[in-house]
Structure 1
């Protein structure tokens, strides 16, 4: 039995042991999941691959898991697509992307070699190179016989092959471009670009984005795409070395700019965060069925307690977000069919908060709050039990929002200037699930994700405030 067969057989025999799944956020059938990979619309369905260890709820032996969907609520799990079974990927099939060419689905991923994996890191023994696999049916993949396709020969001097990963492929006017994260010899992060005519033969093109030495960051999971007349570069940031882990937090950044593909030059403009929470990393985008730009990310709480082992899984994906550039701002809006899967449970209009508004909730739901013109201070309690809750303290007058929780991390999330745009209605849209909260502020002007795997969280909600009028409070529950 080969590596791929062994993984699929293990999943088949053990997946029914998994418990406490979220209701509409994607999770693996069993085991560990991290970065989304190969997010693509192919032959009428959305395919999502992901970093996957089927054998345990911790990171190790990284495969590519695989699922597909038409609506991002109902998912079909497919066989594991890639296993670490070749000399060039023996210690992991790391992150990458997918693209359709001549009816075939191509995957390009990082083959990882590290004989000390799981132990002390020895950079002199770590090699990361880019590899290709392809499929006629989008399910069963064959690795290219001449892998790797981007390695030591193509990587210029000045870069370290021990941190050279996460290929994201795009096609522009018949030419394929691949953006990659790399560590330079100054030990700081860059994003570099390669070109190809056939996805198999690649050459170095340019360095399109560099961090400053003083920023002490390493970049991961780059993504480059176009929205209308804007080019958008997305990447995740982490400390460049362990000594900076106390001052550099893992986060995901976007830069709106202009990409000159011929010259290989990216001219950056506005820069911002894709998510202001503590649990959103390594997102990947694709062009949707109707030309939308859709993005999905890994929701994971760094350096925090993992889920109870008896759950049998570890890791969730966010709900997909549609990205729009409006008046120079990047907006993110939830991309699921709420009308199909959710139903109204409670609806209040022109609510003047004199005391407490209580709502009987369920583990999975949606809460919308539209603020009136005189909205001041009020507090929303989510996942409320007799003694615990997640509290969202809203100060509309001072454009501030603070999230504090008795679940998961005790570190508060603070958003300043969150209602600063006068042309946007002041709204809060909460997507609630068994282990997560995703908040879209002002129709996606800012987004916050929060996760907590605590058992026996409450499901009720309440809103308290004195004198504040809310234009609308709508609560919907997920249909069975």
Structure 2
């Protein structure tokens, strides 16, 4: 039996054993999932491929899982698209992208060779080369007979084949370009670009972005797209070598600027974080049905405690996010029909809480919360998943213009946003999406986003608001003003 058929048979025979999958965040039917791959709108549906190992809840030989959707809530799981069954991808079909050409769907991915499977890294034995698979129907894929299409022959001197991966294809003026992550001989990360007329014959074009030596970072999963009159480059950062693991946090960055495809030159103008949490990595974008730019990312915290083995799965995707550029900043808004999906309004009211006062809801495992906070308000807390003394706590401090998230679940430190808004306004808007194992918080219609995950089995469902009050500046000794907010809560 071939590896592809073996994987699909295993899924069908064992998927009924899986427990506690997220309600509205995408997750695999069974097994391990990481990076989103091949995110594309094709033949009337959104296709999402992903790094996948169906046989266990830990990372191993990477396959490409596959699912489609029309609304990002209801998903159809399709057969595994690719397994590591060729000499050039024997140890994994690593991350890549998808593009339509002449009605066919082309996948470009990294064929990974590592006899030790990453557990005892020996760089001279590791090779990563770029490969292509093609489909007439978007379901069954044939790997190109002349794979790999980008390897040692196309990679210039000064770069290491052991870390050369994650192709993202874009088209500009009838020419195909591919941005790739690579480690240079200084052992630091770069994003380089190749070009092609047919998706099969590729030549090196340029290096479009280089990390600084002192940053000690490796760059992964690049993406490049245009919104209005700006080009946006995304990449995920990780320590370039194990000795920097304590000082470099895995995170995802955007750089807004201008891309000159003909010259192969990217001019950065501004830079920022895609997500302030520690559970958003390797995102990939696509052009949506109406021409909008959509993004989806892997929600996973590095070195996170795995879910209970009896759950039978590990990994989930973020909500899709619609992207816009405003005042040099990337704006991200959830791209699901919130008002339709979360239909039961539990509360819709103006609330004021003095020191020590609480407002409590008997919530459910999933929900949506919208909180509007006047900038004249005091300090307050939102306790999510409250159970006894345990909760995930969001603290908003209007006086100091900060927001922090801490949790008794998931063994994670404080996440802090130092500036709530870059735009002067009369209120702060929080939108919180709560699922079985995650919290996604959007600040001021997507100016900033925080993602959080925890698989603890003892999480509660209550939601508690608490006011702590802050005295107006210059009025020491007077009665603190109350925490004030307008609340909508749905499940």
TM range, smaller chain: over 0.9
Residues 215-259 of structure 1 show CA distances to partners (whole Å, capped at 9, x for unaligned) of 000000000000000000000000000010011010000000000
**CA apart distance, 1:423:** 4.1
Give the drift of 1:70.
Answer: 0.3
**CA–CA distance in 2 between the matches of 1:323 and 1:375?**
30
Task: Identify unmatched segments of 5+ residues in structure 2.
Answer: 470-480
Give the alignment partner of residue 487 of structure 2, picking from 470, 473, 477. 473
- Other structure's SS at 2:87 match: coil
Question: Could you tell me how far apart the structure 1 residues matched to 2:45 and 2:427 are?
Answer: 34
**Which of residues 360, 370, 373 is equivalent to 2:372?**
370
CA distance in 1, matches of 2:425, 2:170: 35
Taking the aligned partners of 2:63 and 2:482, their CA distance within structure 1 comes to 52
How far off its partner does 1:469 sit? Answer: 4.8
Comparing 161-170 with 335-344, greater Cα deviation is found at 335-344
Q: Which residue is equivalent to 1:38?
A: 38
Q: SS of the residue aligned with 2:79?
A: strand
* Corresponding residue number in structure 1 for 2:454: 452
Partner of 1:319: 319
Which residue pairs with 1:201 in the alignment?
A: 201
Superposition pairs of residues 166-245 of structure 1, within 5 angstroms: 166-245=166-245
| SS of 1:57 mapped into structure 2 | coil
Please list the CA deviations of residues 270-290 of structure 1 after superposition, one character each: whole Å capped at 9, or x if unmatched: 100000001000000000000
Q: Classify the secondary structure of the residue corresponding to 2:80.
A: strand
Per the TM alignment, residue 425 of structure 1 is displaced from its structure 2 partner at its CA by: 4.1
In structure 2, distance between residues paired with 1:469 and 1:391: 16
Q: State the match for 2:86 in structure 1.
A: 86
Aligned to 1:404: 406
1:98 paired to 2:112:
no
Aligned residue in 2 for 1:263: 263
SS in 1 for 2:67: strand
What SS is found at the alignment partner of 2:89?
Answer: coil
Query: In structure 2, what is the equivalent of residue 159 of structure 1?
Result: 159
TM-score, scaled to structure 2? 0.96
Aligned to 1:346: 346
- Paired residue secondary structure (1:426): strand
Map of 2:393 onto structure 1: 391
Conserved 8 A contact 1:170-1:177: yes
Partner of 1:272: 272
1:63–1:80 CA contact under 8 A, matched in 2: yes
- Structure 1 residues 407-416 or 131-140, which shifts more? 407-416
Count matched residues: 477
- Alignment deviations for residues 433-461 of structure 1 (CA, whole Å, 9 cap, x no partner): 00000000011100000000000311110
Contact 2:179 2:192 in 1 (8 A): yes
Q: Deviations over 1:158-208 (max 9, x none)?
A: 000000000000111100000000000000000000000000000000000
Using structure 1 for the length normalisation, give the TM-score. 0.98
Distance (whole Å) between structure 2 residues aligned to residue 89 and residue 345 of structure 1: 50
Give how far 1:397 is off. 1.9
| Structure 1: gaps of 5 or more residues | none
Alpha carbons 2:193, 2:208 under 8 Å: kept: yes
Change (3 A) 1:18 1:256: same
Q: In terms of mean alpha carbon deviation, does 407-416 or 208-217 score higher?
A: 407-416
Which whole-Å CA distance do the structure 2 matches of 1:397 and 1:419 have between them?
A: 13
Distance 1:388 1:165 in 2: 41
Equivalent pair of 2:379/2:483 in contact (CA under 8 Å)? no
Task: Provide the rounded CA distance (Å) in 2 between the counterparts of 1:375 and 1:442.
Answer: 16
Counterpart contact for 1:399–1:420, Cα < 8 Å = no
Task: Say if 1:125 and 1:331 are closer, same or farther in 2 by CA, change over 3 A.
Answer: same
Give the distance between the partners of 1:115 and 1:267, measured in 2 at CA.
39
In 2, Cα distance between equivalents of 1:258 and 1:37: 25
SS at match of 1:339: helix
Relative distance call for 1:102 and 1:425 in structure 2 (3 A) is farther
Tell me, yes or no, if structure 1 residue 62 matches structure 2 residue 51. Answer: no
Compute the displacement of 1:471 (Å). 4.2
Contact 2:374 2:426 in 1 (8 A): no
Deviates more, 1:419-428 or 1:398-407: 419-428
Partner Cα separation in structure 2 for residue 364 and residue 387 of structure 1:
20
Identify the residue that residue 382 of structure 2 maps to in structure 1: 380
Matched residues in 2 for 1:424 and 1:287: separation? 34
- TM-align CA RMSD: 1.0
Query: Structure 1 residue 347: deviation in Å?
Result: 2.4
Mapped contact 2:375–2:398 kept (Cα < 8 A): no
State the distance in 2 between where 1:421 and 1:66 align.
40
Cα deviation for residue 118 of structure 1 reads 4.3
Q: CA deviation at 1:304?
A: 2.0
Distance in 2 (alpha carbons) for counterparts of 1:109 and 1:242: 25
* Matched-pair contact (CA < 8 Å) for 2:282–2:298: yes
Which SS does the other structure have where 1:357 is aligned?
strand
